[in-house]
Chains A and B, each alone.
Chain A
Amino acid sequence: MTSGVFDQLLGQPEAIEQLQRTVAGKLEGVHHAWLFTGPAGSGRSLLAKAFAAALQCDNAGCGRCQQCSLTIAGAHPDVLTLATERVLIRIDEVRELVQKSGMNSTIGDYRIVIIEDSDRMTERTSNVLLKALEEPQDKTIWILCAPSVADLLPTIRSRTMNVLLRLPSVEEVAELLVQRDKVDRDLAIRSARQAQNHVGMARRLAVSQDARSRRAETLREIAGITNLSRAMVAAEKLLGVAKRDAEALAQERDKSEKEHLMLAYGLAIDEKIPPNLRPQFKGLEENQKRRNTRALRDGIDRIFTDAESFFRDVLALQLGANVEMTNPELADDLQLRQLGTNAVASIAVLDAITESRKRLASNVRDLLVLESLCTLMILRRDLAA
């Protein structure tokens, strides 16, 4: 059996095997709701797409037929995808999706609905979805993606078939970077290690000098916290790093979106927007602003991930664990910290990072979150010496 659509996926043999078995036996019926869970970077949404393609394909996902290529390109009329670039999925979006999910399929055998980031739903929104999952339509298949099973309501969890993904290994990620992005092997391995096996992040680190220098700056700031005032300054600088990161990503996109909208209304690029069209442009700006809020949060989240890798290394040294270091190039700083603090302090920092993520999610001022975290990272040089 060929399985073209699953080839792109890295290091998920168990999950792929399970799905292929389902596809092979699809004539006997397919479960109506699936939940793909795995850490960020494990390829949840890619796998969801591949599974959808394999179900639509007459040949169990050959990767060459029309059904497969349409699905992979995100253009299949029977495969609906809901992804959000904002902090939350809106209830209206889910309502619309539920409505569409009831329609018959057109060119494919199934109507498939994929919700990426289904952890970004409030309880109320989840309950709208629950209604649809409770009374499955014939030939409609839901695929939800989330970081972990615990991110969804128990009532939803109990109605889905769960597929667990794992993170690909450093070697696998590096291999992919070398082959797909033609990155130098040493750089690929280092990027994969620093990104802690997250494929997308590894790729960014491998191809963008900016991303690399941002990561280096983050760790330099963290390693240099020696007293309270330095901690406060570091928090401010880290927020600056996250902001620049987010802005770099957003600026280009915001501008081109506005230009597209102007074009769509037949306006010249530098023309003044007439009053009757202002609501549309205001809507676009609000959407962009919401998206930028999430972009900034993601930027801060990357800082948390980098900090986590650093303190994980420190803790490994302190406990004498014989594991591979994520940041061997910072050996001096790691040594200094290993001697100057103890394992209890390192675990406290790691716990605080988890807590900080939670605080950020409930809209606590970003600077305040970073400050409170940085005050836990103070290392007394005089004590360490």
Chain B
Amino acid sequence: MTNGRTVSWHQAEPANLVLISGPESYFASRASRLIKDKLRASHEDLEVNEVTDGEYSPGLIFSLASPSLFNEPRLVIIGSASEGLAEDLEQLLLDPAENCTIVVRIPNLVGHNGKLKKQLSASALNVSCEEVKKDVDRIDFIKREFQRLETPIDLPAIRALVAAFGSDMGELGAACDQLSNSGALKISLVEVERTFQGRVETNAFKIADAALAGNAGEAIRLFRHGFATGIDSVALTAALSMKIRQLARLFNDRNAPAAATGMQPWQQDRAIKELAGWTEPQLIELVQLAAQTDFDVKGASRDPEYSIEKLLLAMAKSGQ
């Protein structure tokens, strides 16, 4: 029995009841695939039943879990908890069916999902799929993937992959697959660059920081990468104008209390550093340009990309 044990998603294994919880749905689907593969490896005639979101009706599990004539092994995958499922499973676990694995995906802890997790986690194998927030964990993930795929990869290549696919684990996983199938015996920076064409994932704040640091070229480069990988121009303009607002708010009032400006102390310190070299007329122009740019990206111009680039250049130039 696997009572109440909690493991990470890549250690998922068959058990009477497996609860896959956590927000990262890519890991969740990998975990249930892992369980399926493991079961299939030992029994080729595995019978798989998938119950998608909201299709469960009370009592259904008994017909899915009960043994068939030849007692083939069975796997039941349930998309999310719904009414009656917790009670049914509890009853089922009193007398577990032979050769049957039940996997329940718990995407959040609201309503039936939370109730089920609370009631049953002590008698199930808990697989956790936590969101990946740190680059260290992404590097771990990449290393493990290439180990599994039996392809060696070096550290610079790993770093390049993290920079290119930082935000979405599904994309990162697919990229690892694609690289290992590219035919190269060993993955190094060259392969990554060749396969993904120097793609860099970026966000509005990185772009704004580069511009305000006076680094026009870098800001434009990041922006074009961002634009190519689907950054939203309206959100970007909002972020840029927020940075400009902070500078303008502090220009004549550098000792303003944080409560009045609504900024974090570190934001304020940073903004004051970035103010070096700016004059008031330059900043006034920048505020007005920000409003014009927002107008442009909301339909006033046919080429909002150009308007944003103009704003970035103004942010980078005046500070020098």
Residues of A within 8 A of B (CB): 227-233, 359, 362-365, 367-369, 371-372, 375-376, 378
Contact = CB atoms under 8 A, between A and B. Distances in A.
A229 B251 contact: yes
A368 B248 contact: no
A363 B298 contact: yes
19 contacts: A227-B251, A227-B252, A228-B287, A229-B253, A232-B245, A232-B248, A232-B249, A359-B294, A362-B295, A363-B298, A364-B294, A368-B241, A368-B291, A368-B294, A371-B291, A372-B288, A372-B291, A372-B292, A378-B284
Contacts, number: 62
A375 B252 contact: no
A369 B280 contact: no
B294 to A, nearest CB: 5
Given A227-B280, A363-B298, A368 B290 contact: yes
B61 interface: no
A69 B298 CA distance: 46
Contacts of A359: 291, 294-295
Nearest to A370: B291
A227 B300 CA distance: 29
Contacts of A228: 248, 251-252, 280, 283-284, 287
Given A229-B250, A233-B249, A365 B280 contact: no
B313 interface: no
Contacts of A362: 295, 298-300
B112 to A, nearest CB: 14
B238 interface: yes
A364 B245 contact: no
Interface of B: 238, 241, 245, 248-253, 256, 280, 283-284, 287-288, 290-292, 294-295, 298-300
Given A229-B252, A368-B294, A375-B287, 19 more contacts: A227-B252, A228-B283, A229-B248, A229-B249, A229-B256, A230-B252, A230-B253, A232-B245, A359-B295, A362-B300, A363-B298, A364-B294, A365-B241, A365-B294, A368-B290, A368-B291, A371-B248, A371-B290, A372-B292
Contacts of A365: 238, 241, 294
B291 to A, nearest CB: 3
B209 to A, nearest CB: 20
The B interface is mostly helix, strand or loop, or mixed, namely helix
Contact of B245 (A230, A363, A371): A371
Contacts of A371: 245, 248, 287, 290-291
B238 to A, nearest CB: 7
Contacts of B252: 227-230
Nearest to B296: A364
B250 to A, nearest CB: 7
A275 B251 CA distance: 52
B65 to A, nearest CB: 30
A371 B280 CA distance: 14
A365 B251 CA distance: 22
B304 to A, nearest CB: 12
A364 B248 CA distance: 19
A364 B291 contact: yes
A378 B280 CA distance: 11
A317 to B, nearest CB: 25
Contacts of A363: 298
By Cβ-Cβ distance, the 10 closest A-B pairs, closest first, are A372-B291, A229-B253, A229-B252, A227-B252, A232-B249, A364-B294, A375-B284, A372-B288, A368-B291, A228-B251
A372 B250 CA distance: 16
Contacts of A230: 252-253
B141 to A, nearest CB: 38
A27 B28 CA distance: 78
Nearest to A360: B295
A376 B288 CA distance: 9
B130 to A, nearest CB: 31
